Amino acid sequence: MVTPAEYIANEFKKVGKADAFTPELAEQIKNGVPYIKHPHLEVDRDGNKATTTFHIVKSANSDNYFLNKFDMQVQRAGKKEDVQDTFYINDVKRNAHNKKLDPAKFFTTFTVKKAFNYLIGRPVRNLYQNVQNQSHKAWDQIDLKSPLGNGRYELKTCNDNYGFDLDKVAANYSMRELANPQFKKSLFESLERGNLQSAKFVGNDGKITELFVSPNIRLGTLNVFRHDKETNTKMPVQLADLEKNGWINKEFAQTVRERVKEFTQKYGQANKQGPAEKNARIENEKPAKKEEQGEKATKKNKIKEKTDVSEKPKRSHRIKQQ
């Protein structure tokens, strides 16, 4: 029989943080503490720091414990403002017994790693499900240009109707990993977790250069960076340099320029950091296709949902367990 501590240890594994389950936490569960706030600190290789608090609750009717949610606050390297959010642990079986829950509502559970990357500002790809056994995947990204106060920002979600196809987009870049099915699979899985992933780019002269990539969902490209050893930071590679070195398809590079030009004409001074020659670093630009109604925004931890005409999804990673 699984003990309450073993059950919670397994819940930590599910959110990708087995190492956050400590002997001290096991002792608290053993002693029957009714409500546990368990802290965990993590720093990534780029100097971003995440402070996570796991909320573990004892059942009122038994000795069982449940991991209900975790709060995360991220100090981004080189930034003054912290970013934070709350991520609820959603379970299909548990939600099925929640009579107050709309059965058509789609929900997801962030892993801790995805939450970290999401709050840094990179997109992550999540599986959304509802209790009617319907599911689909979508890209989630925080909109750092839309603050809600208290370190929180709007959430933008783009489903597959949005038009971003990672496979097709990546094919326009000379990444050596794409030639090997296993390496390609690992690369895409890492990008879907929100990682700023290293990749080997093959230049015009055949030389291999290690660069770092992350999807730019709205622009329909990849953000490309190089590591600056002097500052130990990731610096954006300009579109002209990508094209000059043969790291990007020339026709696709021209398409990117046209998308950026259209975007800057549409939004003008609202995006001074998005000139045509600044390549794929641009954030919140013109999407590859016209934006569908499958995108959503959240305000003050309450969701304003825009639904796709065909699917009419209602999505959230913030469903509170009853």
Does residue 290 form part of some domain? Answer: no
- Write out pLDDT tens, residues 74-94: 999 989 999 999 999 988 777
Residue 149 shares a structural domain with residue 77: yes
Q: Return the C-alpha torsion angle 167, 173, 187, 71, nearest 10.
A: -90
- Predicted pLDDT of residue 213: 98
Does residue 298 form part of some domain? Answer: no
pLDDT at 208 over 60: yes
Residue 39 shares a structural domain with residue 158: yes
Residue 20 shares a structural domain with residue 155: yes
Q: Are strands 297-299 and 82-88 parallel, antiparallel or unpaired?
A: unpaired
Residue 129 shares a structural domain with residue 272: no
Does residue 297 form part of some domain? Answer: no
Residue 195 shares a structural domain with residue 274: yes
Mean pLDDT throughout 148-167? Answer: 91
Residue 157 shares a structural domain with residue 174: no
Tokens for 37, please give them.
Answer: 């706030």
Residue 105 shares a structural domain with residue 244: no
Does residue 309 form part of some domain? Answer: no
Domain that holds residue 9: 4-162
- Predicted pLDDT of residue 137: 95
- Predicted pLDDT of residue 101: 82
Dist CA 14 CA 172 (whole Å): 34
In percent, the amount of the chain with pLDDT more than 70 equals 82
Residue 62 shares a structural domain with residue 145: yes
- DSSP H helical ranges for the chain: 4-14, 23-30, 92-96, 112-120, 166-170, 181-192, 239-244, 250-267
Final residue before a domain boundary, out of 114, 136, 162: 162
- Write out pLDDT tens, residues 45-82: 999 999 999 999 999 999 999 999 999 999 999 899 99
As for how many domains the chain has, the answer is 2
Does residue 311 form part of some domain? Answer: no
Residue among 226, 222, 284, 225 nearest 256 (CA):
222
- Predicted pLDDT of residue 24: 97
